Every structure is written in structure tokens, then in C-alpha cells.
Amino acid sequence: MCLDSQTKAHFLSDGSHTHGTSFFYAQASQMNSDTEESRFRHLLSGNHEPQSREIEEVRNIVKRRESILKQTDAQLLELLKTAMSLWERRVRDDSLLSRFHCILSPMRRLPRELLIEIFLLTRDWLSEEGGFTPIPVGPYSKPSPLVITHVCSDWRKVALSMPALWATIRSSHEKYDPSVPDSGPLYDERLQTWLIRTGKHHPLDITFEGPPTYHETPCPVSWINPYMNRVRTLTLVGGVGTLPSGTFPMLEMLSIDDYDSHDELKNNQVSFPSIHRVVLKGCFYHDPSTFVPLLQLTHLYLDIDSTFPMSIFLDMVSQAKELVELELSFFEVDEDLEDPDLIVTAEDRVVMGQLQTLVTPIPVVTSSLLRYVTLPALITLDLTYNLWPASLYSSLQSRSSFPLQSLNLRNWICDGMDPTEFLDVLQKLPSLREIVSYGALAITPTLVSGLTSISSDGVPDVAPNLEYLGLFVNPKVETDDGLLLEMVASRDPSGKPAVLEPTPQPGMRVFRSHLPKQLSSYKLLDFAMDKLEPGVHICF
């Protein structure tokens, strides 16, 4: 191939000498290849023996082709180096561009007040359901809000200036040993740092855990003294020392694991003028009413590991006129109170006019307490028993006429109540919305038939407002799915068929109406799974 001098000059002077030269030789090489391939096609396409003259020519072609290939490899290597360099530069430029974009981000220009709201709303908050959970003063302490402080210096300043972010304090000293220097809470750097970050005025929710109660030396809580005027909820777990003397003016909820070890409470060395929720556990050799302002009490939880006179308890609740939630557990009661023939007069009973929730987690408490109280405002009743206290419950319901909405029954010996008797109970509870049974009820044709019965106006004869029925039964006991589906559908005014939901947990059955009253269908399975135990869940 021959090219005139002007064509060569054009290639060599076109922008880049390297690229122009490469292009020129590439074109020339391609033209030579085409000519050589055409000339020796008869040898390339078959196995013919070359002539002597052709052998020499082919050898020259091979040498020339090898030389060209080496040049191509060298050029390709240069191109790869150039491409890699360009790619690295692009990565750096892209990273720098992203950083400049961040400067223009609206997040950099958020007002401090809005940033505070974001910090609070993106944290986990304790549920406010139930009267014995701490009263929220800020988001939960886990995961640690320190994550926010590590984003940038401005966010750190904002986070550290937010007392609510640090006001929920959890501190554990289960392994407290006074013989170890600097081991107490006063030397707990994390605890002291969090307390400082709460500022000087924001309310506090403090949970402090000491060593086990059998530990010889309880962990001191004197460190709380500077914060007494700000504590809204105080929870003391395990072996904890004496509270500082004085007043907790803001305290609304107090929970103590080992009540009898706190002589300062019995001796009125500490006062709580604003308290209205109390959780006391342990042995009760002293009357807790000495330090609790009963007239303003709204929530009371007593878990008593000793004999406690019923007369003292009844005197307490008779003064607690504002009590709305009561959970009571006795280790044992006076023997005469367990006598089924014990006669209780109207004068012996206490009318708890505001009580909405009653929980008795021990059978002996159920059998002894029900005969002594009248509960006209009761909405939630949670009873534990060995044998269904039919006469006691019937008497309580008759004299109280409560508007019950939730009934939880727990049978310790799993001896199911007679379904006819249970249907009679439901007949007197038209406002009932929820029933939960733990071994108290069996799924029988009589029970299902009673719940299926519909009056002429289309309203169920039994529990017309029922929204949920949970029966925690032996998973080995088979249920008649068709019968249950028919019952659920009969109570649905839409007339549409009921549904058996698929569930991932063995032994769990979830039945629902076309459109459940209590839960939307996408929440239904989560609701059932929250129960954790296998059983039959029915949403009407």
C-alpha cells in the first residue's frame, strides 16, 4: 500500500501525534491484511501444501504481523492506563460534586426547632398503653441517641441542648460491690453524663437496678438527691438503698421491687405529693398507705409475697376514691376468707365507683376479693382461678351492673367452663367487645351455636358488640373450621363469607369476617402473632 506525503502529513498532524499516527498505521495495517488474506486464501481455507516461494512470503508476513501485534498491545496498554486515570479522576470529581451538593441540601438550612422535632419523632417512644408503664418524658434510651451526635458538629450541639432526648434514664448496677473502689453509681460516667445532659428543669423517667435482693449490701441511690424535684417516674429494681429524705414534688409514678426494705417510706421520711400511680412488690409487713396519698391514687399494683390482711387492703381502697386500675396479687390471705360459706354483708363491701380495670393474677385473690367489692364502672376484668367462681361472679355482676367491654379468663387447671354457663354470662354483658380465654373455654358445638344465634332483627342474641374472641387451647385439639366460619359469617351484617387466614405459626388459627370491626385485614395477622401462643383468634 502506498500513501502520498500529503495524506501521511494529515494523519500525523491531526490534533494528537500519537492518536494520528496510530490511526494511520491502523488503516495501513488493515489494508495490508486484506491484501494478504486475499492472496493466500487458498492456503488459509484448506490444508494444501504451500510452495517454496509461498513459504518464504508467509514467514515474512508472520514476522510483520507479530511486530504489528506488539505495537497494538503497547498502544492498548497506554489506552488502558489513560482510561484508568480518567476513571479515578471521575470518581474524585463525583465525590467532590456530591459534597458540594450537600452544601446546597435543605437539611443544612433546617431551623433548629424543626430539627429538634425530627430528632424526637425518629426515636423510639415507650407505649403509653397500660397504667403501669412509665410516664413518657422523652424517647426511649435505646438505641442510644449518641448516634445523632456523631453526624456533624451542628447536630451534636442541637442534640446536646435537648433535655428530652436524654430524660429517659436506664442504669443497671447488678454487680455492685462496695469493696471495689469507685464502683458505685456516683462513679458511673455514663449515668452522670446523661443526667447532666437533661438540663436543670426537664422531667425525668429513671429506672435504677441494683444487685439481687438477697445481696448483703444494696446499691445506694443518694445520687438522685439533686434531681428529686424533677423525677416524674421512678422505678427501683432489686437491692436498692434508702431514698434521700425529703419531697419528690413532681413524682407521679413509683415502682419498687422490694418494698419492705425501704424503712424511709414507712417512717414518712419521704413524701410524694403528686403521686397517683404506685407499683409495690415484695413482703408487706407494713401498711403502704402510710406514704401513699390514697385520695389521689389512680393506679395501684400490689404483688405481695406475704400474708396481708384483707381488712387493711379494703380500708386502703375505700379511701382511694379515684382508683381506675387495680392489679392485686397475694401470696396468701386469711384462712377464713377462703371459706365458700363466708357471709359478707353490704356494710362489709367497698364500692369502687371509678375502677375501670381489675386484674387478679392469683386464684386465691379472685375468690377472696370478688365478694368484697362493688364495681359499677368496670370496663376490663382479668380473672385467674382454679374453678370458675360462678356464684361470686354472678353476685358481683348483679350488684355492679358494670358496662364490661373486655373479659380475660385464666384457668390454672385448664378445666373448661360449661359452655351453657358461659353463654349465660355473656347474656348479661351486651357491651362486651373482647373475650380472651387461657384454658377457660373449649370450642364446642354448644358454644359455637350460641354465638351463631341471630335475632329476627339481624342482631346476634349473645354479645352483639363482640369484636374479638381469643381462645388459647391445646393445639392438638382439632377445630371444625366450617362451623367457625359459618358462625363468624352469621354475625356479619354484610352477609359476605368469613375468611380463614393463612398463618406461619403451627397451631394458630385466625378467622375473620369480611371486614373486621376492630382491625383492618392487613393488621390482623400481626395482631394474632403478637399473642405469641397458638390458639384460635376470631375477629368479627
DSSP annotation of 369 = H
User: Would you call the peptide bond into 143 cis, given omega within 30 degrees of 0 as the criterion?
Assistant: yes
Across residues 266-278, what is the average pLDDT? 87
Q: With 50 as the cut, is the pLDDT of residue 214 above it? A: yes
Q: Are residues 250 and 185 in the same domain?
A: yes
pLDDT of residue 43: 78
Question: In this model, does residue 16 exceed pLDDT 60?
Answer: no
Whether residue 84 is found in the same domain as residue 152: no
Which has the higher per-residue pLDDT, 489 or 2? Answer: 489
**233 has which bridge partners?**
205, 253
Pairing of strands 508-512, 246-247: unpaired
* Residues 283, 176 share a domain: yes
Query: What is the per-residue pLDDT for 284?
Result: 73
* Tens digit of each residue's pLDDT (9 = 90 or more) over 127-168: 656 678 888 888 776 767 788 888 888 888 888 888 988 999
3-31 average pLDDT score: 49
Of 519 and 44, the structure prediction assigns the larger pLDDT to: 44
Specify the amino acid at residue 279. Answer: V
Q: How far apart are CA 308 and CA 313, in angstroms?
A: 8
Q: What is the count of structural domains for the chain? A: 2
* Residue 79 cell numbers, joined: 489506552
Q: Is the pTM of this model over 0.85?
A: no
Distance CA 176, CA 116 (A): 36
**Rounded-to-integer distance, Cα 221 and Cα 333, Å:** 33
Query: Given 257, 272, 292, which residue is the final one in a domain?
Result: 292
Choose the most confident range, by mean pLDDT, from 20-34, 54-68, 486-500.
Answer: 486-500
| 322 pLDDT above the threshold of 90 | yes
Confidence of residue 316 (pLDDT cuts 50, 70, 90): confident
Phi, psi of 534 (to 5 degrees): -70, 150
Assess if residue 38 is contained within a domain. yes
CA distance linking residue 521 with residue 512, whole number of Å: 8
379 compared with 104, residue with greater pLDDT: 379
The pLDDT confidence band at residue 527, using thresholds 50, 70 and 90, is low
Domain span at residue 257?
131-292
Q: Compare 533 and 231 and report the one with higher pLDDT.
A: 231
Residue from 516, 498, 496, 422 nearest 462 by CA? 422
How far is the C-alpha of 146 from the C-alpha of 123, rounded, in Å? 12
Among 223-227, 337-341, 343-347, 377-381, where is mean pLDDT lowest? Answer: 337-341
Answer yes or no: is 345 within a domain: no
Which is higher by pLDDT, 301 or 120? Answer: 301
Average pLDDT, the chain: 83
Kindly state whether residues 91 and 146 are assigned to the same domain. no
Task: Answer with the residue of higher pLDDT: 292 or 389.
Answer: 389
Note whether residue 207 is domain-resident.
Answer: yes
Residue 27 has what pLDDT? 55
Residue 3's pLDDT band (boundaries 50, 70, 90)? Answer: very low
Looking at the structure, tell me whether residues 153 and 63 fall in a common domain: no
- Residue 463 within a domain: no
| More confident site: 196 or 214 | 196
Is-contact 2 27, C-beta < 8 A? Answer: no
Residues 175 and 236 in one domain: yes
The half-sphere exposure of 466 on its side-chain side, counting CA atoms within 13 A, is 29
State the average pLDDT over residues 296-315: 85
Domain shared by 98 and 202, yes or no: no
Out of 87-96, 422-431, 489-498, pick the least confident. 489-498
The pLDDT of residue 5 is 47
Share of the chain above pLDDT 70, in %: 86
Instruction: Calculate mean pLDDT across residues 236-254.
Output: 91
Average pLDDT estimate for 259-278: 84
What's the distance, CA 159 to chain centroid? 24
Calculate mean pLDDT across residues 413-420. Answer: 82
Q: Do 37 and 136 fall into the same domain?
A: no
Residues 171 and 230 in one domain: yes
Q: How confident is the model at residue 115 (pLDDT cuts 50, 70, 90)?
A: confident
501 domain-assigned: no
Is 453 a domain residue?
Answer: no
Q: What percent of the chain has pLDDT over 90?
A: 34
Domain end call among 272, 292, 312: 292
CB neighbours of 75 closer than 8 A, spacing ≥ 6?
Answer: 22
Same structural domain for residues 220 and 287?
Answer: yes
- Given 292, 319, 346, which residue is the final one in a domain? 292
Beta bridge partners of 410: 384, 438
User: Do 145 and 89 reside in the same domain of the chain?
Assistant: no
> Residue 195's closest CA among 217, 175, 166?
166
Which CA distances in Å does 364 have to 339, 414, 452? 11, 16, 35
Examine residue 386 and state whether it is found in any structural domain, yes or no.
no
287: in domain: yes
In this prediction, residues 354-383 reach a mean pLDDT of 92
Looking at the structure, do residues 136 and 9 belong to the same domain, yes or no? no
List pLDDT tens digits, range 35-93: 777 777 777 788 888 887 888 888 888 888 888 889 999 999 999 999 999 999 999 99
3-state secondary structure of 502: coil
Output 121 or 200, whichever has higher pLDDT: 200
